Amino acid sequence: QHERRVGELLQAKPGKGIHSVVRLTLSPGGVSLVVPQPNINATVAQNILLSVEYSCRGVATIEWKHVSSWGTTKIVEWKSGNYVNISTVYKDRVNTFENGSIQLLNVGMRDAGYYFITVTEEYGTSTYGTIIVNVYEIIYEDLHFVAVLFAFLAAVSAILICFMWLCNKSLHLFQKTTTHKLTGISLRMQSRYRVFKSEF
């Protein structure tokens, strides 16, 4: 049944707006598994948490697998308080937690796909959960546009500041020239008045 479910999910093509629902699985043996966030969107180089919560009688074995168009890869398997086996391709990229969750570090485009968790109790009863991960590239074109726009606005601001400085400088120069001209005219008029007065 689990393998048939995997085949059905693969036909949905991960990474293109896939939607799912919160899963609560309870097997006859008493193993329960909750997946609070079954659909995760991430960008390249981001760290993501594949969060789950399980409960069972006794000690459980946790196994995570990644299924995508590139194939199926076992990520990690561990038994609480006993051992942790992380696949070579995921060395230094996976952190495990007691509740069954895992954290993936520095995700890339190949990390998109379906993540299957299997919880098996010591009596042999198992339950399954699925998380769909979509990974998107950072759109550098948008960042480039923002940078260009910022540079353009900075250049316009600099030009306006220079223009205002020149206008202010010209105004002071005009006022100074006008003052000198008025002073010269006043002095000439006073001089002519004295000459005119001395003649009489």
Q: What is the DSSP string of 148-164?
A: HHHHHHHHHHHHHHHHH
Residues 103 and 154 in one domain: no
Type of residue found at 88? T
23-26 vs 71-79, strand pairing mode: unpaired
Structure confidence at residue 164 (pLDDT): 87
Among 138, 155, 186, where does a domain finish? 138
Based on the number of CB atoms within 10 Å of its own CB, is 159 exposed (0-12), middle (13-18) or buried (19 or more)? exposed
pLDDT value of residue 191: 63
pLDDT, residue 92, reads 93
73 and 168 both lie in a single domain: no
The answer on 85 and 26 residing in a single domain is: yes
pLDDT at 139: 78
Q: Kindly state whether residues 79 and 159 are assigned to the same domain.
A: no
Is 53:91 a contact under the CB 8 Å cutoff?
A: no
Specify the pLDDT at position 141.
58
CA distance 113 to 131: 8
- Domain range for 96 is 2-138
Question: What distance in Å separates the CA atoms of residue 76 and residue 84, rounded to the nearest whole number?
Answer: 7
Question: Are residues 183 and 121 located together in one domain of the fold?
Answer: no
The rounded distance, in Å, linking the Cα atoms of 144 and 38 is 33
Which pLDDT score is estimated for 57?
83
How many domains does the chain contain in total?
2
Quick one: pLDDT at residue 142?
60
Angle, CA of 70, 76 and 78, to the nearest 5°: 160
- Where the chain has pLDDT below 70, the residues are 1-29, 140-144, 178-200
Q: What is the pLDDT of residue 196?
A: 55
What is the predicted pLDDT for the residue at 169?
79
Length of the chain: 200
Residues 133 and 163 in one domain: no
- Whether residues 105 and 200 share a domain: the answer is no
